[in-house]
Chains A and B, each alone.
Chain A
Amino acid sequence: MADATEDLLVADLRSLGLRAAPETDVEVLAARVLNAIPQAGPDPRRTLLRVALAALAVLVALVATPPVRATVADWFGFGGVRVERGEPDRTGGEGAAPPRVGDVADAAAAVAFPVLLPTALGEPDVVGVGRDRRVVSMTWGGGDEQLRVDQFDGALDYAVAKRAPRMRFVSVAGTDALWFPTPHDVVLLDPDGSRRTESARLAGQTLVWPTATTTLRLEGDLSLAEAVRIAESAVPVG
């Protein structure tokens, strides 16, 4: 008798609990959690975690609110790069390098931002400046072994969009950076954020890292360690 009463009581208590379920939007909560992590503390390891989580918040936001509005600048403090989630289109061919200029010093003179040279690679074989002087490109070697460094004014919004299914958060000289280990689309964007469709191309492994005023990207058949070593060798031109 007591058992039956108790079973009934337990069943009723469970029903009582069920009705007291507050409604929760788990996507919103997940985004809030990831956003809240930046306040966790100054521990460098945590900073990295924070960046990783902030980036996730970007991705969550991307999933939740297309069209994409968030910029990496909002989360990482470095500009000019927008990361979108998804498989690359794979329609872009080899992107033309920007028109050639003479050498690194000429490029530095042609643009309004400080140009860096990764000394680990020596003088580049080709130096180019974009038509609108927003991007400086340098390449070393050719074919499959070509290495390429692009740099642009980090204050610009939306200079380069990357559509990448995978990316990792790494550190270059103590600064947060992004590593794209798999092919991804690189698309130049106009200042208003619209795509310049003719500029699409597929990039190999890429490291993206910020300086005080600019954002650089290094692309080529490199391991992460090699890419970081090259990135950390960059010094101002002139």
Chain B
Amino acid sequence: MARVRDGDADAYADLVRRHAPVAVRTAALLGAGPDAEDVVQEAFVKAYVALDRFRSGSPFRPWLLRIVANETRNLHRAAGRRAAREQRAWAAAEPLLLAGDEPAESALGDVRRSTLVAGLSRLSAQHRQVVTCRYLLDLDEAETAAVLGWPRGTVKSRLHRALSALRDDLAARDAEEVGRHG
């Protein structure tokens, strides 16, 4: 970071290369959809311009991801009310979760996948966001707190409630299916 502050452009490019993949995934799953790379580009530019405000010694990644999240939210600013914005964000992220090739290491079947995505779409926006950050993106608690702008305690409690809600929802759907067919 010291080298970046001194205007060492190579150092900043290294930082971009290192953090771009997680930044793009974060933007995409928070609702930037196909604009994810543009959002990340803008976030890196803003991060650079604001480097003097970056507290030295603190980790770069949560700070960057927070900017990425803000930029992603800005994409949907035109949608008006918060609920409408959150709806649009999820509408952009959902197809990503349903499409794409199955990674070799994943044993997730198509049915389970669409079940999970459907379950996520029935969660409240806050619960969906915390699950997205903490599990889909595999961010740690501090990063999740930075991205969502919540205190860490809130991340912890909402995550807990979100998982319960998702588990109950999936169990209820299961029971419904069994009831209908069985």
Q: A13 and B106: CB pair below 8 A?
A: no
B116-A53 in contact (CB<8A): no
Query: Would you call A34 and B7 a contact (CB within 8 A)?
Result: no
Q: Does chain B have a CB within 8 A of A46?
A: yes
Chain A residue contacts of B17, Cβ below 8 A = 26-27, 30
> Is A36 in the interface zone, CB < 8 Å from B?
yes
Task: Tell yes or no: B40 within 8 A of A by CB.
Answer: yes
Is there an interface contact between A13 and B10, defined as CB atoms closer than 8 Å? no
Q: Does A9 lie within 8 Å of B167, measured CB to CB?
A: yes
> Which residues of A (12-70) have their CB < 8 Å from a CB of B?
12-22, 24, 26-27, 29-30, 32-34, 36-37, 40-41, 46, 48-49, 52-53, 55-56, 59-60
Which residue of the partner chain B has the closest CB to A9? B167
Q: How many residues of A contact B (CB 8 A)?
A: 38
B29 sits at the interface (CB 8 A): yes
The residue in A12, A26, A33, A36 that gathers the most chain B C-beta atoms within 10 A of its C-beta is A33
Q: Which residues of the other chain, B, contact A49 by a CB distance below 8 angstroms? A: 7, 48
Most B CB contacts (10 A, CB to CB) among A2, A17, A52, A169 go to A17
A21 touches B102 (CB 8 A): no
B163 touches A6 (CB 8 A): yes
Q: What band does the interface of chain B fall in when counting residues whose beta carbon is under 8 Å from A?
A: 35 or more
Which residues of B have CB within 8 Å of A22? Answer: 24-25, 28, 36-37, 96
**Could you list some 18 contacts between A and B, CB below 8 A?**
A2-B167, A13-B131, A14-B138, A17-B29, A20-B28, A20-B136, A22-B25, A22-B37, A29-B20, A29-B37, A33-B16, A37-B48, A40-B48, A48-B7, A52-B7, A55-B9, A56-B13, A60-B13
Residue positions of B touching A, CB distance < 8 A: 7, 9-10, 12-13, 16-17, 20-21, 24-25, 28-29, 36-37, 40-42, 44-45, 48-49, 93, 96-97, 100-103, 105-108, 112-113, 116-117, 131-132, 135-138, 163, 166-167, 170
Knowing that A17-B29, A20-B93 touch, tell me 10 more A-B residue pairs with CB under 8 angstroms.
A12-B112, A16-B97, A16-B117, A17-B135, A22-B28, A26-B21, A37-B45, A41-B49, A49-B7, A56-B10
